[in-house]
Structure 1
Amino acid sequence: MHPTRSIHLAAATTHLSDQQLHLMTRRSEAAALAALILALAASLLAEGTPWFWPPATGDDPYCLSWRVMVEANNAKGWRTVPPPCVGYVWSYMGWGQYSRDVGSVADQISAYAAQLAPGADGLDAWVFDVDDTCLSNLFYYQTKQFGAYDPVAFKAWASRGICPGIPAMAQLFQTLKGRGFRVFLLSGRSEQELGSSTASNLAAAGFAGYDRLILRSAGYRGVSAVVFKSAMRRQLVEEGFRIRGNVGDQWSDLQGDLVGDRVFKVPNPMYFVP
């Protein structure tokens, strides 16, 4: 080979290696940043520490009544947080009360589960919803001003796999597993589009070791949450599992057929899923 051609080839090879090294570095930095965001968000959620300055205080009597109506399932079919209550919801979610309320729910579940003796057959099960039961989407909905559901934008957000775990629920999840219960995660997320990112996100957020992650297959596209989740719970029961408890942030997680021996509602005034 001509010496000049050898020099050019070596230079091209070096240039290609530099590009590959740069790409690998960028990917490593992105992964490290995602891990840092998850860790920071989980820490803030656990401590109830605000990560934004809310535009309103949390003592608005009208908005407090509205939130109670939401949690009691008396307010139905709403698409957005009432405009006067956007600041109130920001305050509630970010300044500690939400974290305390979720912790109280987790305590009630733990106390109930302590009274149960899982059978030796290993078929006593719990069902957990995923979004805003295990993984928090507060960062996403905060940027959307708690507006109407946008499937395209939410898919883009969820596919990044950076939703922080909800600490009280992650601890409860591990407690139930330690007591011998089987834990199934049941979500309306698309199995085809978000299956991989959801599984990775759950593992990074402290929800490793569940029995099965059940997502919405193409055959259930367009079906309501109540119908879809009822069908999935029926499959579990037909496999022989006894659903001892069911945990979700939406009433549609907890209604329908075969909901379990007890249901537990996690607070969520950010959105409504019929």
Structure 2
Amino acid sequence: MMKTLVALLLVATIAAAAHASGDEEYQNFPLGLKSDGASEHATLQGITCSSWRLAVEVHNIIEWSTVPAECENYIGQYMESPKYRQHSKAVNREAFLWVRDVPFPKDGRNIWIFDLEETILSSLPYYSQNGFGVQKFNSTQFDAWVEKGVAPALPETQKLYNKLLNLGIKIVFLTGRTISHHEVTVKNLKRAGYHTWHKLILKNPAEHSGKTALEYKSAEREKLVKQGYRIIGVTGDQWSDILGPATGIRTFKVPNPMYYII
């Protein structure tokens, strides 16, 4: 009886703490591999939503602003299904199988560049509460989510990150987050299990005002090359992460059908 009371008190305490922290609205954990109930036959103007997602991923549908309303349920179910993680695994597995056989010089100048959102860290707890990309992006709301510092790691990319470190490749995080989020980003990365990196590059609005994401990230990669670094690979969830100059030897895109950044 006493053990039961102690257990109940512990559960109540944890629940109260979660409520007090204000994180209860983000309790949906995106990486638990729920059953795959995504309907392959949800339709959008004569095509299936799965076909729309594929066209988005291979960059045939571009410069879209929101997920079509007809596809909200499909995208939500896909993002919370085994398929999303399996697709991510395929990308990261291929990256490792390739890089382990690359005969790059062992001179300490080799780097691998990762984006953050939907590449290293998952914002799905936020997007699950905001229509999985159907709603227009609200920078104020998203910044508030970032400042919570609770974004979980994306497991398959984290495996690649660890393998790259074991190969002696230095990690560079290059994100569209602004420098005002530096402190919380460091804490979030460590909380999510990323304890080692060579550089964390956040956007300085004073330097990159008016630039697209592609222009900003290209410029930062070019700086790294000029500093003598050798970019072995780049991983991102957006085409703007992996296009442009100074993209290294190979690029890898992990899936993200929830938003498009130019």
What is the TM-score with the length of structure 1 in the denominator? Answer: 0.81
Structure 1 residues 124 and 37: CA distance shift in structure 2, 3 A: farther
CA-CA distance at 1:77 after TM superposition: 1.0
User: Higher helix fraction: Structure 1 or Structure 2?
Assistant: 1
What is the TM-score with the length of structure 2 in the denominator? Answer: 0.85
Asked if the contact 1:38/1:205 (under 8 Å) is kept, the reply is: no
**Residue 214 of structure 1: which of 183, 188, 201 is its match?**
201
Q: What letter matches 2:39 in structure 1?
A: T
Asked if the contact 1:48/1:96 (under 8 Å) is kept, the reply is: yes
Residues 21-43 of structure 1, C-alpha deviations (whole Å, 9 max, x = no match) = xxxx99x94699799999994xx
Partner residue, 1:97? 83
Asked if the contact 1:34/1:162 (under 8 Å) is kept, the reply is: no
**Residue 78 of structure 1: which of 51, 56, 64 is its match?**
64
CA RMSD of superposed structures (Å): 2.8
How many residues matched? 242
Asked if the contact 2:27/2:125 (under 8 Å) is kept, the reply is: no
2 CA distance for matches of 1:114 and 1:241?
Answer: 19
Partner residue, 1:57? 39
Asked if the contact 2:176/2:202 (under 8 Å) is kept, the reply is: yes
Unaligned runs of 5+ residues in structure 1 are 1-24
Unaligned runs of 5+ residues in structure 2 are 1-12
Structure 1 residues 39 and 80: CA distance shift in structure 2, 3 A: closer
Partner residue, 1:172? 160
Q: What letter matches 1:270 in structure 2?
A: M
Partner residue, 2:224? 236
1:228-267 to 2 correspondences below 5 Å: 228-267=216-255
Partner residue, 1:22? none
CA-CA distance at 1:222 after TM superposition: 3.1
Structure 1 residues 216 and 122: CA distance shift in structure 2, 3 A: same
2 CA distance for matches of 1:272 and 1:81?
Answer: 9
Structure 1 residues 229 and 187: CA distance shift in structure 2, 3 A: same
Matching of residue 125 in structure 1 with residue 111 in structure 2: yes
Kindly name which structure, 1 or 2, has the bigger radius of gyration based on alpha carbons. 1
Q: What letter matches 2:209 in structure 1?
A: R
1 CA distance for matches of 2:20 and 2:185?
Answer: 18
